[in-house]
A and B are shown apart, each in its own frame.
Chain A
Amino acid sequence: MLRLININKKLGSFSLTNINIDIPDGEYYVLLGRSGSGKTQLLELIAGLNDPDSGEIWLKNENVTVTKIQQRNIGLVFQDYAIFPNMTVFGNIAYSLHSRKITKDEIIGKVARVAGEMNISHLLNRYTHNLSRGELQRVALARTLVTSPALLLLDEPMASIDASLKDDVKRILRQLNRRGLTIVHVTHDYREALSLSSRIGVIHNGRIIQEGPPDIVFSRPVNKFVARYAGIKNFFRVKFFSEKGLFRAKCDGNLVFTVADDDYPSEGLLILRGDGIKLHNSEPECRFDNCFKGIVREIIPSEQGMEIMVDAGELFYINVTVNDFKMLQIGESSEVWITFPPESGIVLPGSI
């Protein structure tokens, strides 16, 4: 188990503030944050490359806050892998083993085993400067895994590889985690977090602003920043009021939504997921409370299919699959209707 207790670290004008994280053994924890949010710095503190100004780091029930980096048994894979260019792939993987009192045969055996697992046995005698990004990443993983770390730290492991290789890397990481390896993975990509993590911590300006299972974090974001991270684009500043027994939210642009319950402040931010809004090419039977007519302004291909921007007095971003898009038979300037159930709105209180 990894425990970070009240970690603080000042780095020039930036600081990590009151970081508290508990990661049980075998968990896949993703630290999600923008560039410059402090996530790499936090990894370096855990690894022992820097010392915190205050707070404690516990690993396997042992306080390692001031333990030497060489004795922490934590593996760190850097963002661009930090492969030693003056060594062969074998030299890179065997590097940590030369610091230990083991025989040459044992070193060869360990390197061969981990290279086999990473499918890079054929590269062992090659220098690294003409290896592909994917191969370099496997070398970096093999080099770290050969030390049998108690904890694996990954700094943006998929930032520098092609989309086609990402699934392959994800498969390897899932396998490692399934075998019981605790992983802390730093990324700026919420899709990566969603597909790998058992728990997510969102870090912003050196603070953990939300933590929890990915489905909870992304369905109930605590603020606009996290919501944006979850790929949400529909934000409406609203004032709440009751009307004829229904609870309403009035936008700045005078559009009025119906919301699920009355446990709201007087004003706040209403968030709608793009895939929670339904798009129609003809007027639907408006048994829905939230049914608005609009014009398609833009159609943008996206990873999930299409993102349709509709102007219905407010701008709505709606995600549809390619099949649904074909069936809708709409184009830019088409007249459409959008509907969404009252309970699909996420409300953030205050004037955020």
Chain B
Amino acid sequence: MIKYNPFNWITLLLSSLILLFILAPLAGMFFETTGTEFLETITDREVQESIWLTLWISFAATFIFAIGSVPLAWLLARKNFPLKNVVQGIIDLPVVLPHTAAGIAILGFISRDGFLGKAADIVGLTLINNPAGIALAMAFVSIPFLINSARDGFAAVPERLEKAALTLGASRSRVFFTISLPLAWRSIMTGFIMMFARGMSEFGAVVIVAYHPMIAPVLIYERFSSFGIKYARPASVLFIIVALAVFILLRLISIRKKEIHVTPDAETY
């Protein structure tokens, strides 16, 4: 319980203002959308396809990039190597870049003149205006969330548990899959959800790489710029509801995994 002294009152007031700042625009948008507008949007095929496209591309991007990101996170948590801090800085770079600039960088990479674009061209694939290009743009801006969360998760696994497994005859890979990964699972899932959510909401980088096929944030922008706020609002409300539902669902799935109690490492010598 909070004791009501002047400091707590001021803290409470400022906290309430911040919460209001987050909730008020969203609530306003919800209340200003009529039932008819909302129903029309739900049945709008273009909106449905756009939201579905956003969800699966973001999920696929997160899943595919997790395959490389999780081992990288383990390396960062467990090993010391030259320029480790530089590597950590590189991983955090997408967070501080303007997303349109990130989009330009990705575009250069996947256009026909770029390294990846040329490689894709050989197999007859054009990455620009293609779900694969969108996935790359989404992954570029959201991957730090997964790597950093997984790294923290691995770092929290007591090293002595991994050492104990090694003394019991397990190989390094078995130790990783039976001890490190299960014990860091919650943090990895949190990172996965954060990367997925961040990728799903990306606009700046994606719009430069692929205006079409239209993901939900681009569709909302297109409706706003062509028809105004009245037409963009119901699609926004629907996208927020779907995104929240998926977010909550994934959270519930990750929380259902059994709570594991670990105690930190004891002194080492």
Contact = CB atoms under 8 A, between A and B. Distances in A.
Interface in B149-205: 158, 160-161, 163-171, 174, 178-179, 182-183
B261 interface: yes
B183 A69 contact: no
Interface stretch (A75-83, A189-197, A286-294, A336-344): A75-83
Interface in A20-53: 35-41, 44, 47-49
Contacts, number: 80
Given A36-B269, A39-B269, A78 B164 contact: yes
Given A39-B269, A84-B179, A86-B260, A70 B161 contact: no
A35 B267 contact: yes
A79 B168 contact: no
A75 B178 CA distance: 19
A143 interface: yes
B269 A84 contact: no
A36 B267 contact: yes
A147 interface: yes
B269 A41 contact: yes
A11 interface: yes
Which interface class (under 10, 10 to 19, 20 to 34, 35 or more) fits B?
A: 20 to 34
A37 B179 CA distance: 30
Contact of B161 (A11, A39, A75, A84): A84
Contacts of A144: 167-168
A68 to B, nearest CB: 9
A24 B56 CA distance: 64
Interface in B218-267: 258, 260-263, 266-267
B268 interface: yes
B257 to A, nearest CB: 10
Contact of A70 (B169, B258, B261): B169
Interface string B36-65: 000000000000000000000000000000
B165 A84 contact: yes
B160 A78 contact: yes
A82 B262 contact: no
A39 B165 CA distance: 21
Contacts of B179: 84, 86
Contact of A143 (B166, B168, B261): B168
A326 interface: no
Interface of B: 158, 160-161, 163-171, 174, 178-179, 182-183, 258, 260-263, 266-269
Q: Which 7 pairs, one residue from A and one from B, show the smallest C-beta to C-beta distance?
A: A82-B164, A96-B168, A41-B269, A129-B261, A76-B167, A86-B182, A99-B169
